[in-house]
């Protein structure tokens, strides 16, 4: 915090004399508000990237701006867009000034390009309701040629692929692919597909277009590196379908994306149609028979790929799951509706334990994890203790809705499962227990989440985690500074009031406070 304060303190005399600052003042923004917002921007960058401004690259700043835009666009407040635009004007002026002065890692030219692209998205985000998390800067069609190849992006893709593939290969349904391709062969074929799509087209799996999939599928270089023999080649289609399907169920790509691409993969490309499912599968036979019948009856035009795609999508819905499903019986203790009575139940340890048992339905949280992160070693007992603590935190957060009200009609199951899943991921991937949660881990997760969830889901997630942090701050689990940084890092407006002592304010209160400051 001291380092950040020094940065703002050091640059403020110069910045307050800059042309950008003068424009802001002429637009009617109060000096105190500008200073306050500058510190907030500094906090956000510190939480997301690190305290050293020299580390702030264009990519980091774009991530922070996207987070901020996403948060503002998801806000129902009528003033949200106005507040965002005024705050963005300051961000732009401040960051441009810092880049011109060589105070940050990003170059002035890189920032100018970034701001130009970003501003195109603001109206789209507020007007058309497009989730800004889907913006892929590297694929801006307005830029001639391909964007610069970045080693860190490839490394992060490789890391993500490893996580994705490790889960995918454990599926029962993957056994058939492994039988034909071998585990190493399957990994090699898919990893090279991922890397070739980036190397050749700068596309990551969540933004693979049909054009890119088709292009990589026919790419001579990919054919060389895929390691697939002619006999194995037809299995690539099924592997891609299953891989994307798994990815959509585990947050690597959105379900919406998978719903568009999977039917196309099975129907849009002849090679993939033929190999989308093993010939021996009764499902493949049934699928083919239904399509042929529809074509024969004149219900389906075989030359219309869109019609085939839609038809296949409908079939896929009907044949959605090949797995064995359990019946689901949930038994929840009756809880009062009155918030005061509900809050009083926090002291009923027996009931809390019972609710924890009722919602402890996830048995997969020990399956995938890092072994060592920054010297911290994963430990099974600690993972279980952390999971149990998270369940209890989630239950208490629900019971204390009087103090931490939820803006949407969230159910207790949403709250408990979100808090628990988040705590499980924090431990599995960063080996940090609840009391040791770090802003860097939060920011990393937030970036990972962007583009994988739709706006409503993401907004609800942020709200739940923000309130979790507020409650844990009130329980003295975190210091005020840590709580603020955690809230910022997850993409929430900090609600731990810097002026008070442990006071927690709501998002709406925070927004109103900001608006009042602006109008002074």
Interacting residues with another protein (CB under 8 A)? 281-283, 286, 318-334, 350-351, 354, 357-358, 360-361, 363
**Minimum distance from residue 253 beta carbon to another protein (Å):** 16
One DSSP character per residue, 256-307 reads HHHHHHHHHHHHTSHHHHHHSS-TT-HHHHHHHHHHHHHHHTTSS-TT-HHH
Smaller CB distance to another protein: residue 298 or 350?
350
Return the number of other C-beta atoms located less than 10 Å from residue 109's C-beta: 10
CA distances from 324 to 271, 287, 320, 424 (A): 29, 20, 12, 26
Smaller CB distance to another protein: residue 190 or 412?
412
**Minimum distance from residue 259 beta carbon to another protein (Å):** 12
**Minimum distance from residue 328 beta carbon to another protein (Å):** 4
Q: 3-state DSSP call for residue 320?
A: coil
Smaller CB distance to another protein: residue 54 or 341?
341
Distance CA 42, CA 378 (A): 33
**Minimum distance from residue 359 beta carbon to another protein (Å):** 11
Q: Is the CB of residue 439 less than 8 Å from the CB of residue 450?
A: no
Distance CA 445, CA 171 (A): 24
Smaller CB distance to another protein: residue 168 or 437?
168
**Minimum distance from residue 174 beta carbon to another protein (Å):** 14
CA atoms within a 13 Å half-sphere pointing along the CA-CB vector of 378? 19
Residue 377's φ and ψ, nearest 5 degrees, are -100, 135
One DSSP character per residue, 226-237 reads S---TTTTTHHH
Distance CA 261, CA 251 (A): 15
Q: Both tokens of residue 71?
A: 């948060």
Smaller CB distance to another protein: residue 78 or 329?
329
Smaller CB distance to another protein: residue 151 or 334?
334
Distance CA 391, CA 360 (A): 7
Smaller CB distance to another protein: residue 104 or 284?
284
**Minimum distance from residue 386 beta carbon to another protein (Å):** 20
**Minimum distance from residue 278 beta carbon to another protein (Å):** 10
**Minimum distance from residue 188 beta carbon to another protein (Å):** 28
Any idea which residue has 């109060």 for tokens?
30
Q: Is the CB of residue 131 less than 8 Å from the CB of residue 455?
A: yes
**Minimum distance from residue 455 beta carbon to another protein (Å):** 21
Smaller CB distance to another protein: residue 5 or 317?
317
- With 0-12 CB in 10 A as exposed, 13-18 as middle and 19+ as buried, what is 231? exposed
**Minimum distance from residue 215 beta carbon to another protein (Å):** 31
Q: Considering only CA atoms, which of 443, 331, 419 is closest in space to residue 43?
A: 443
End-to-end Cα, the chain, rounded Å: 28
Smaller CB distance to another protein: residue 296 or 324?
324
**Minimum distance from residue 353 beta carbon to another protein (Å):** 10
CA distances from 32 to 39, 84, 90, 161, 385 (A): 11, 17, 12, 46, 45
Smaller CB distance to another protein: residue 282 or 298?
282
Smaller CB distance to another protein: residue 59 or 245?
245
């Amino acid at each position: 915090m001291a380092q950040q304060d020094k940065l703002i303190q050091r640059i403020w005399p110069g910045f307050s004399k800059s042309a950008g600052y003068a424009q802001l003042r002429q637009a009617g923004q109060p000096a105190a508000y500008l200073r306050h917002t500058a510190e907030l921007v500094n906090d956000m960058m510190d939480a997301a990237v690190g305290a050293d401004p020299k580390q702030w690259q264009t990519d980091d700043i774009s991530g922070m701006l996207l987070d901020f835009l996403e948060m503002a666009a998801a806000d129902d407040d009528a003033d949200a867009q106005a507040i965002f635009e005024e705050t963005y004007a300051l961000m732009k002026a401040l960051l441009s000034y810092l880049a011109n002065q060589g105070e940050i890692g990003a170059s002035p030219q890189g920032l100018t390009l970034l701001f130009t692209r970003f501003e195109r998205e603001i109206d789209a985000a507020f007007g058309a309701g497009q989730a800004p998390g889907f913006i892929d800067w590297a694929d801006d069609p307005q830029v001639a040629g391909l964007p610069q190849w970045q080693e860190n992006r490839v490394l992060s893709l490789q890391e993500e692929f490893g996580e994705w593939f490790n889960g995918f290969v454990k599926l029962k349904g993957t056994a058939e692919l492994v039988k034909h391709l071998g585990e190493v062969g399957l990994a090699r074929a898919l990893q090279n597909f991922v890397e070739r799509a980036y190397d050749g087209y700068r596309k990551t799996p969540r933004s693979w277009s049909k054009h890119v999939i088709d292009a990589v599928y026919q790419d001579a270089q990919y054919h060389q590196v895929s390691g697939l023999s002619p006999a194995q080649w037809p299995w690539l289609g099924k592997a891609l379908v299953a891989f994307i399907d798994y990815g959509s169920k585990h947050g690597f790509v959105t379900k919406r994306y998978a719903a568009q691409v999977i039917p196309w993969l099975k129907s849009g490309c002849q090679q993939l149609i033929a190999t989308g499912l093993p010939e021996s599968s009764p499902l493949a036979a049934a699928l083919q028979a239904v399509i042929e019948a529809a074509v024969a009856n004149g219900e389906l035009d075989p030359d219309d790929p869109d019609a085939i795609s839609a038809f296949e999508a409908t079939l896929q819905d009907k044949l959605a799951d090949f797995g064995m499903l359990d019946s689901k019986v949930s038994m929840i203790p009756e809880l009062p509706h009155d918030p005061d009575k509900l809050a009083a139940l926090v002291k009923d340890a027996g009931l809390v334990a019972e609710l924890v048992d009722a919602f402890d339905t996830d048995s997969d949280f020990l399956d995938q994890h890092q072994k060592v992160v920054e010297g911290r070693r994963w430990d099974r007992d600690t993972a279980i203790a952390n999971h149990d603590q998270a369940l209890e935190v989630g239950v208490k957060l629900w019971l204390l809705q009087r103090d931490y009200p939820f803006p949407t009609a969230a159910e207790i199951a949403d709250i408990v499962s979100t808090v628990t899943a988040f705590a499980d991921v924090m431990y599995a991937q960063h080996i940090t227990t609840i009391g040791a949660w770090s802003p860097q881990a939060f920011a990393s997760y937030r970036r990972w989440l962007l583009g994988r969830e739709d706006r409503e889901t993401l907004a609800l997630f942020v709200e739940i985690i923000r309130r979790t942090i507020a409650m844990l701050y009130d329980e003295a689990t975190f210091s005020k500074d840590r709580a603020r940084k955690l809230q910022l890092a997850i993409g929430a407006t900090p609600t731990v009031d810097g002026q008070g002592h442990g006071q927690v304010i709501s998002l709406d209160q925070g927004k109103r406070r900001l608006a009042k400051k602006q109008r002074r």
